[in-house]
Structure 1
Amino acid sequence: MRYLLIIILLLFNYSCSNNEKVKKPNIIYILADDLGYGDLSVYNQNSKISTPNINSIGNQGMIFSDMHSTSSVCTPTRYSILTGEYAWRTKLKEGVLWSYGEPLIPENKKTVGSMLKKFGYTTSVIGKWHLGLGWEKKVEISESNADISDSGLIRDINENIIDFSKNPTFGPPQNGFDYSFILPSSLDIPPYLYLENNKFIKPVNNYTDGNKPNHDSSGAFWRAGPMAEDFEIDQVLPTFFDKSKKYIKRVQKEDKPFFLYLPLPGPHTPWLPLDSFRDTSEAGEYGDFVKMIDYHVGDLLDHLKSLNLEENTMVIFTSDNGPYWWPESIERFNHKAALELKGMKGDIYDGGHRIPFMVKYPGIVKEKSTNSDVNSLASLMGTLGEMLGEESNNIGIDSHSFYDALMNDNYKAEPKSIIHHSSRGFFSIRKGKWKLIENLGSGGFSKPVFIKPNQGENIYSLFDMDEDISEINNLSNKHPEIVKDLITEMNLIKKKSFQLNP
């Protein structure tokens, strides 16, 4: 009888311990827009922008040094974050969706939101969507009134046939979000309006002529287009943070954990720091706008503390791609937004897609810890799925979990192959220290964009990213066997596909 009692007590203690281990945290995923690897001093001690609040997430948790967006531009990265798959597997083969593009994520596609709902979470997205909406049209779509790609994707529709008197029929609620308050796309792309659960907040009766203060579309730049009544373009960022705080306060009363996906509209153009933030950095309007973001991130973190939610909330902070920061800006401000990485937003070079990534989870993720494993933003579904016990065949095909790294800062993952993709559709592959690019040129914004190879010239570039972070020394001729292996692996990944369980 004594031995039986001991066994029962051991089983009870194991059960309690196990329950503690799988306690579901609240999750906040903050996605900055166009924030560079070198903008934050936790990555770049010479940064001209002070960001103590964003830095605190890394200092109180784990900093990842080799995380990558799956694309060097907006829409495809957002697709990967929510689905765990590369967007080039869809009909979007390059670039982004524009003002009135069709939904990129179909309703039956499993997302991070729908997966978390399965495990008892209430889910929300507050911020920039840029994944397409089901706009109501006055007439049928045709090649004469829409931009339709060769793959059949409707990238945009003539705004004159959009019926703003009717709410869109498809959006975040159809992609796994219980609550949504969004801007349709970027803050420099019309229409300028808010949608709450697919419904217009205000009538869309106004029109802006746009603003272009600089030749390179930087600064306070936005395009002409329809605008909702009372829409103030410089108040969008504060509005999203205010809505987030109110959402958290509301749902914390519910007996379930919450997931808040918070994709910010900045520091993507237009750079619109409010007066109180002007001249607070040494990197011009861009740096001042980053300072404004940092303030609001700190305010949100303080809000969690005030509600006694900090201890059981996982906060992830990252960026959707590299910075929109031209060489002229580097020279003018002596600020390297991409640090020593080659290139910028849009490019196949690491400056286009290596991004800041930090995770804070008090008591679980070790403070001031670091991780140097190569991974991508497609990893969110796999990581949260492993944490919650989701079956692996229900995880997006390109989502490589970093959960073990969060639990043990000494953990070193086996090298996984990661695919990079540029705005012009260039591919590269990264495995361990080796990076192979299959085209010549940036494939993005940096010049030259395309380089025509000479007859018989090798079109592949190979770099040792441990020794050559700036991608200067092309080793493709020195290591032809590595080039061959990476080409084979990249082609296998491109062909790989499977059907998620319903």
Structure 2
Amino acid sequence: MIRIITIAIVFFFCLACKNQAELETIKQPPNVILIFTDDQGYRDVGVFGADDIPTPNLDKLASEGIKLSSFYSAQAVCSASRAGILTGCYPNRIGIHNAFMPNSHIGLNPKEITLAEMLKEKGFATGIFGKWHLGDAKEFLPTRHGFDEFYGIPYSNDMWPLHPQQGPVFDFGPLPLYQNETVIDTITDQTFLTTEITARSIDFIKRNKDHPFFLYVPHPQPHVPLFVSEKHKGKSQRGLYGDVIMEIDWSVGEILKTLKEHNLEENTIVIFTSDNGPWLAYGNHAGSALPFREGKGTAWEGGQREPFIIKYPRELKADRLINEPLMAIDILPTIAEATDATLPNNIIDGKSAWSLLRGIEKKGPQEAYFFYYRINELHGVRYGKWKMYFPHNYRTMEGQIPGKDGQPGNYNYIDLEEVALYDLSKDLSETKNLAEDYPEVVLEINLLANEMRYRLGDSLMEIDGEETRLAGSIE
């Protein structure tokens, strides 16, 4: 009898401990992993249309999570797009445009609140392994913007002496490799980088598995110059570019495997996307955005529509497709709601899409999205199924010979001379201008654009913004 009572006590004690552990896990906010590639085209993932690059891990991530078919980067260029996803702001609001060069005198203003700083306030461990590109002066490094750890490069991987235009156009110094705020090496061969970034990401997860963490993995690849380790070399049907994507897919798989091994899978939000579209001038070393028009450096769909996958088993139903437009500026407020973090006091442009992702709402959080480029030019607006462009100058490879094997081709520069309106529900390639057929839509979008111009400006129309902020300066 005593033995039976003892067994019962032990059983109920274990059950109570299990329930308490489950309650503690539920109370703990989800970990967040943001995997951010560089210059990857929309069609460079199997579930987004690639039939010549195997991406089994990303395809599995999509089947276990949500795929967004109309997700946009914040801008079609490196530094600006990174500023947008990390701060929830249109990049021109915070004075960031184009891509910072080495030894830049400006960077992400220390007064801006990043995703890392927001989550760090809530007790998250924070780490970045990969490419930063928001200022390489010490006061702009990731460790000054909320990250506990940084391993990687401070700007794009082509900003080194081996650039194909070194001499005639550029005069780059050595490419530094950072550990936190210290240069630990200069890189002459990048074949090891994706593997090392993956290893350090895995180590970060293991070291922080017992409390919330934010892991940011901004891969330097597939930005040119392309590099891949021996284990993936020659594996794809799309040459070196495809091999690089396969290695990134492998990296995603290793991170997901680590989460599963440490029982972190259920309570971790994993996001995969890219900073902007493919760099078409590089030909066979560039990705594909087909069927979308143009690529990196333009506001056309191919320049900013990106592959996007999000998985969070605890709250997001699996194997879903969402066609509603979202933009990178919405990531910070969405993560804030998912983790119960406090939003920055600074004005931000993003809005939470958490209810959309959970299936509570069917509409996206924003009425429209605005496509700025260069310093402060409003080129286009996405409004429901419509995309409208204002007259502007843009680059294209149309009529030109693309580059090959790491050498760039030359762009044509074209003036769009009239307002252009496209119905993206029927015309993904933006071929038929419907502006004359739908003047009422043109008027609606113009009203929205004018509201934004008075907030953020538009140098094409010589309108000064009222609420913009400046990038940081070391002067």
User: Which residue of structure 2 lines up, in the alignment, with residue 489 of structure 1?
Assistant: 448
Cα deviation code 1:142-194 (max 9, x no counterpart):
xxxxxxxxxxxxxxxxxxxxxxxxxx344112111122222011111134122
Question: Which residue identity does 1:197 align to in structure 2?
Answer: N
Residue 196 of structure 2 corresponds to residue 239 of structure 1: yes
Query: What secondary structure does 2:176 align onto?
Result: coil
User: Which residue of structure 1 lines up, in the alignment, with residue 66 of structure 2?
Assistant: 62
CA distance in 2, matches of 1:170, 1:77: 16
1:257 to 176, 199, 212: 212
Q: 1:410 Cα deviation (Å)? A: 6.5
1:65-464 → structure 2 map (5 Å cutoff): 65-93=69-97, 95-134=98-137, 168-190=138-160, 191-202=174-185, 228=186, 232-252=189-209, 255-325=210-280, 329=284, 337-390=288-341, 394=345, 397-408=348-359, 411-413=362-364, 416-422=367-373, 425=377, 427-443=379-395, 448-451=412-415, 453=417, 459-464=418-423
1:422–1:444 Cα contact (<8 Å) kept: no
2:136–2:155 Cα contact (<8 Å) kept: no
1:79–1:85 Cα contact (<8 Å) kept: yes
Go from structure 1 to structure 2 and tell me whether the alpha carbon gap of 1:169 and 1:498 turns closer, same or farther (over 3 Å shift): closer
2:94–2:468 Cα contact (<8 Å) kept: no
User: Which residue of structure 2 lines up, in the alignment, with residue 30 of structure 1?
Assistant: 35
Q: 1:258 Cα deviation (Å)? A: 0.2
1:348–1:443 Cα contact (<8 Å) kept: no
Question: Which residue identity does 1:64 align to in structure 2?
Answer: L
CA distance in 1, matches of 2:178, 2:335: 28
Question: Which residue identity does 2:454 align to in structure 1?
Answer: K
What is the percentage of aligned positions where both structures have the same residue? 31
Go from structure 1 to structure 2 and tell me whether the alpha carbon gap of 1:180 and 1:372 turns closer, same or farther (over 3 Å shift): same
Query: What secondary structure does 1:180 align onto?
Result: strand
Structure with the bigger percentage of strand: 2
Query: What secondary structure does 1:82 align onto?
Result: helix
Query: What secondary structure does 1:233 align onto?
Result: coil
Question: Which residue identity does 2:206 align to in structure 1?
Answer: K
Query: What secondary structure does 2:107 align onto?
Result: coil
CA distance in 1, matches of 2:117, 2:300: 33
Moved more, 357-366 or 407-416: 407-416
Cα deviation code 1:232-288 (max 9, x no counterpart):
322122111111111111122xx5300011100111111112233222111111111
Number of equivalent positions: 414
CA distance in 1, matches of 2:343, 2:371: 23
CA distance in 1, matches of 2:315, 2:221: 30
CA distance in 1, matches of 2:228, 2:343: 43
What runs of 5+ residues in structure 1 fail to find an aligned partner? 1-15, 135-167, 203-227, 454-458
Cα deviation code 1:444-474 (max 9, x no counterpart):
6665433274xxxxx2111111111100011
1:477 to 436, 439, 445: 436
1:103–1:171 Cα contact (<8 Å) kept: no
User: Which residue of structure 2 lines up, in the alignment, with residue 466 of structure 1?
Assistant: 425
Go from structure 1 to structure 2 and tell me whether the alpha carbon gap of 1:102 and 1:307 turns closer, same or farther (over 3 Å shift): farther
CA distance in 2, matches of 1:377, 1:449: 27
Go from structure 1 to structure 2 and tell me whether the alpha carbon gap of 1:392 and 1:494 turns closer, same or farther (over 3 Å shift): farther
CA distance in 2, matches of 1:379, 1:75: 17
2:118–2:344 Cα contact (<8 Å) kept: no
Query: What secondary structure does 1:311 align onto?
Result: coil
Query: What secondary structure does 2:47 align onto?
Result: coil
Question: Which residue identity does 1:242 align to in structure 2?
Answer: A
Query: What secondary structure does 1:27 align onto?
Result: strand
Go from structure 1 to structure 2 and tell me whether the alpha carbon gap of 1:61 and 1:246 turns closer, same or farther (over 3 Å shift): same
Question: Which residue identity does 1:237 align to in structure 2?
Answer: T
Query: What secondary structure does 2:414 align onto?
Result: coil
Question: Which residue identity does 1:108 align to in structure 2?
Answer: K
TM-score, normalised relative to structure 2: 0.80
After TM superposition, what 4+ stretches of structure 1 lie above 6 angstroms from structure 2?
16-21
1:426–1:443 Cα contact (<8 Å) kept: no
Go from structure 1 to structure 2 and tell me whether the alpha carbon gap of 1:101 and 1:47 turns closer, same or farther (over 3 Å shift): farther
1:37–1:338 Cα contact (<8 Å) kept: yes
CA distance in 2, matches of 1:448, 1:481: 33
2:65–2:310 Cα contact (<8 Å) kept: yes
Q: 1:98 Cα deviation (Å)? A: 1.2
TM-score, normalised relative to structure 1: 0.76
CA distance in 2, matches of 1:260, 1:328: 32
CA distance in 2, matches of 1:468, 1:409: 29
1:423–1:444 Cα contact (<8 Å) kept: no
Go from structure 1 to structure 2 and tell me whether the alpha carbon gap of 1:317 and 1:169 turns closer, same or farther (over 3 Å shift): same
CA distance in 1, matches of 2:203, 2:82: 24
1:57–1:317 Cα contact (<8 Å) kept: no
2:119–2:341 Cα contact (<8 Å) kept: no
Question: Which residue identity does 2:314 align to in structure 1?
Answer: G
Query: What secondary structure does 1:57 align onto?
Result: helix
CA distance in 2, matches of 1:181, 1:401: 30
Cα deviation code 1:101-122 (max 9, x no counterpart):
2342111211111111122211
Question: Which residue identity does 2:386 align to in structure 1?
Answer: W
2:370–2:378 Cα contact (<8 Å) kept: no
Go from structure 1 to structure 2 and tell me whether the alpha carbon gap of 1:482 and 1:319 turns closer, same or farther (over 3 Å shift): same
Moved more, 111-120 or 313-322: 111-120
CA distance in 2, matches of 1:324, 1:499: 29
Q: 1:389 Cα deviation (Å)? A: 3.4
Query: What secondary structure does 1:442 align onto?
Result: strand
1:415–1:431 Cα contact (<8 Å) kept: no
Moved more, 491-500 or 271-280: 491-500
User: Which residue of structure 1 lines up, in the alignment, with residue 403 of structure 2?
Assistant: none
CA distance in 1, matches of 2:135, 2:229: 29
CA distance in 1, matches of 2:25, 2:467: 34
1:104–1:131 Cα contact (<8 Å) kept: yes
CA distance in 1, matches of 2:112, 2:287: 39
Question: Which residue identity does 2:100 align to in structure 1?
Answer: L
CA distance in 1, matches of 2:107, 2:354: 28
User: Which residue of structure 2 lines up, in the alignment, with residue 154 of structure 1?
Assistant: none
1:422–1:443 Cα contact (<8 Å) kept: no
